[in-house]
Structure 1
């Protein structure tokens, strides 16, 4: 599974959704966030992730916002790039 000790990584100055510089990860992903991220890395859409994990689309979106915040990114592509660089 994914290494959750990501506190020293800074994604090349990419900006997040709010336009601020990406910050290093300060807290590890939850097990459910790792599952969502794994689904993202397999190019699954929100509905597919929700069906696969047996949760609502809103729950998936909540997990995505948490992942983006922890990684300091603003979209799923950057989140997957971050994830793949760490595995």
Structure 2
């Protein structure tokens, strides 16, 4: 019986958040994690809303938005943009 090695859950990716290169080691990116990468804190102020968009997602040409509570597949060279705004 052959001993098959289980695929590693950890990966080594380089992503860019608001123009700053970051190293990432998970296969997914959650909304809160992206905001934390951009602003150094998780979203906690109920009057602040973060718009999260991305380019170069899965399939290299994929782009879109990430909503609160959502997660996306992380890909190497992915570009993420996070903008904070006040709810009115």
TM range (shorter): under 0.3
Higher helix share: 1
Instruction: Give the TM-score, by structure 1 length.
Output: 0.25
Higher strand share: 2
